[in-house]
Amino acid sequence: MVCWGMSDLSWVPTYYDDVASSYDESRGGVERARAVVRALGTLVRPPGPSVAAAASRRERCLDVAGGTGIVSAELAAAGWSVVVLDRSAGMLAEAAGRLPGRVLRADADRLPVRTASLDLVTIIWMLNLLDVATADAVLAETARVLRPGGRLVLTADKELAHASTTTVRSDDSERLGTVLPGWGLDPAGTATFSAPSPWGSARVGDPLFRLAAFRRAGGPDRGP
């Protein structure tokens, strides 16, 4: 049985394989993915529509826990050279249909990626599924793979988009703002996007989700 209590995370490993084929439509579909990438574009300047130009400028993005690749595909459309990483084979099978040859099955706390090799890492709706220790292992890995000046964009405070209170610490924005500078990732702005959700809304209308950006110290800037 799926347990939605956030203190019990035992449902996470198998849940996404089970729901992969219906996941996108139940979470706002392509409209939601576009809203994410629009908001992200206010935090990180997109490379532009030419994938070839993006590749030549080496604007590499890893969409960590990218699931079905629905957001990854919109990032690719914005010009990023994207790889989708996830540990769910079911979710990645959907992603492979969108971005053939651009999917990677792995755990987010052990990224099979070279140090300082990426311009952008995205983590959308995933930290909230992890305990704090695992979330911090993911964040440390993210800091390792970003080049100086590269950016991390993640969703924070996800449960607060659905309800007025939360016990989830892993994606708490204040906590992230404290721990990420310890790995050389400095706060670089916030944005919001709205999308339908089966988990309810803390406000009238669709929930409002928070994106937070962090910049790896040093290197050329990629600000908006």
Ligand X SMILES: C[S@@+](CC[C@H](N)C(=O)[O-])C[C@H]1O[C@@H](n2cnc3c(N)ncnc32)[C@H](O)[C@@H]1O
- Binding footprint of ligand X on the chain (CB under 6 A): 12, 16, 65-67, 70-71, 86-88, 91, 107-108, 124-126, 129
Min. distance of Cβ 196 from ligand X in angstroms? 13
Work out whether the CA dihedral 97, 98, 100, 101 comes out positive or negative: negative
CB-closest chain residue to ligand X: 67
Min. distance of Cβ 23 from ligand X in angstroms? 7
The values of phi and psi at residue 25, to 5°, are: -70, -25
Indicate the SS3 state at residue 97: helix
Min. distance of Cβ 219 from ligand X in angstroms? 26
CA-to-CA distance for 190 and 156, rounded, in angstroms? Answer: 10
Min. distance of Cβ 216 from ligand X in angstroms? 21
| Closer residue to ligand X, CB minimum distance, 3 or 53 | 3
Min. distance of Cβ 218 from ligand X in angstroms? 27
How many CA atoms lie less than 13 Å away from 137 in the CB half-sphere? Answer: 10
Q: Name the residue with tokens 């996007």.
A: 193
| Closer residue to ligand X, CB minimum distance, 12 or 140 | 12
Token pair of 159 as six digits = 């449960």
Token pair of 208 as six digits = 């409002």
Type of residue found at 219 = G
66 closest CA partner among 40, 38, 44, 98: 98
Min. distance of Cβ 10 from ligand X in angstroms? 12
| Closer residue to ligand X, CB minimum distance, 86 or 119 | 86
| Closer residue to ligand X, CB minimum distance, 81 or 142 | 142
User: Backbone dihedral region of 96: left (phi > 0), alpha (psi from -120 to 50 degrees) or beta?
Assistant: alpha
Token pair of 60 as six digits = 């590499």
| Closer residue to ligand X, CB minimum distance, 29 or 219 | 29
CA-to-CA distance for 29 and 66, rounded, in angstroms? Answer: 14
DSSP state of 154: E
| Closer residue to ligand X, CB minimum distance, 63 or 172 | 63
